[in-house]
Amino acid sequence: MFNSLMMLALEANGVVALRMMKLMRGGKRARREAERMVSEKIHAAMQATTSLMTGASGDAIVHRYRRKVAANAKRLGGLSSGRSRKRVLKRTRRRRK
């Protein structure tokens, strides 16, 4: 379990850095990210509490948190412009012609 907790801490640190970069840009996307961050924290805490009350192991809870952190890292680590990858590739193909 110690290794899982250490990995969770490292992965979460990366997500915090990505979120801070997004928040520093400001605007509507930053506001949405801040709201999403708070609601995710509340939801995750409620899920963890429920899991503990129903007898889930600590490993299972850490695993669930790691999946959520990985999903956030994937979402936040995309293209920084906020555009979809297909749209950006389509524009670059048009310019080459």
Q: What is the pLDDT along the chain (97 residues), one digit of tens a residue?
A: 789 999 999 999 999 999 999 999 999 999 999 999 999 999 999 999 999 999 999 999 999 999 999 999 999 997 554 555 565 555 555 555 5
- Long-range contacts, stretch 21-30, CB < 8 angstroms, 24+ apart: 22/76, 29/82
pLDDT at 2: 85
CA angle in degrees (0–180, nearest 5) for 82-25-90: 20
Ramachandran angles phi, psi of 78, nearest 5°: -70, -165
pLDDT at 78: 79
Buried b (16+ CB within 10 A) or exposed e, 67-80: ebbeebbeebeeee
pTM of the model: 0.73
CA angle in degrees (0–180, nearest 5) for 79-93-97: 155
pLDDT at 34: 96
